């Protein structure tokens, strides 16, 4: 993570007494990793400005976008149930290699961890866990395509693996795109753009959107 951001307050897109929705920067960890060099993260930054913060979900380190953070244990449980029950509508924007032949579709490819090459995930139709992604073309560019991705499940690296399986890996994906140098950082063109769900307390629709920088 950029050292200049360590003590800065994350961008807040939504806030009430129960939870906040913040923007995670690309290459920023959502929660602390292993080792003292990975203690700085979105949660640690947020904790500097709120009495209590509780993690509910996370984005891959290179992915930017919206993250929900609870401000109490009770709200952490309530929001976690919404995520588990797939009652959170999520939309991502990605830039993928090449031109897609169709305008929309559904990817249903089960995924599991590659036990010999963690954290890489692989498609496994026999032993993998159910993974579903809806996609649609937003814009066709010269050598790539901007796509809208709507995951119906939340498997590790789901969008990244599904795009690779389609033959159109996400630009800058150093795990699933062979065209990216191993040392390339901060170039994954994947952004968690919007979240919609029913507020666990008020019942009102919470709808937050943050456009990508690419």
182 tagged catalytic: no
- What SS3 class is residue 162? helix
Of the listed 60, 85, 116, 182, which one is catalytic? 60
b/e per residue 99-121 (b: at least 16 CB within 10 A): ebeeeeeebebbbbbeeeeeeeb
- From CA 61, how far away is CA 25, in angstroms rounded? 9
- 81 sits in which H/E element: helix 73-84
Helix residue ranges, H only, 5-110: 42-47, 73-84
Question: Which residues participate in catalysis according to the annotation?
Answer: 60
């Amino acid at each position: 993570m950029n050292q200049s951001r360590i003590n800065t307050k994350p961008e807040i897109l939504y806030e009430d007494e129960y939870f906040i929705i913040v923007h995670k920067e690309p290459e920023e960890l959502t929660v602390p990793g292993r080792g003292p060099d990975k203690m700085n993260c979105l949660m640690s930054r947020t904790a500097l400005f709120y009495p209590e913060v509780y993690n509910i979900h996370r984005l891959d380190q290179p992915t930017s976008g919206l993250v929900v953070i609870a401000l109490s244990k009770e709200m952490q449980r309530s929001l976690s149930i919404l995520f588990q029950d797939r009652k959170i509508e999520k939309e991502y924007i990605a830039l993928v290699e090449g031109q897609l032949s169709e305008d929309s579709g559904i990817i249903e490819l089960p995924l599991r961890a590659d036990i010999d090459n963690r954290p890489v995930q692989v498609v496994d139709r026999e032993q993998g866990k159910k993974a579903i992604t809806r996609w649609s073309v937003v814009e066709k560019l010269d050598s790539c395509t901007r796509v809208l991705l709507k995951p119906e499940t939340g498997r590790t690296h789901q969008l990244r693996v599904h795009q690779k399986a389609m033959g159109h890996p996400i630009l800058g994906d150093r795990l699933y795109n062979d065209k990216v140098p191993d040392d390339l950082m901060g170039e994954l063109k994947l952004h968690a753009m919007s979240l919609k769900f029913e507020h666990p307390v008020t019942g009102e629709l919470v709808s937050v959107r943050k456009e990508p920088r690419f």
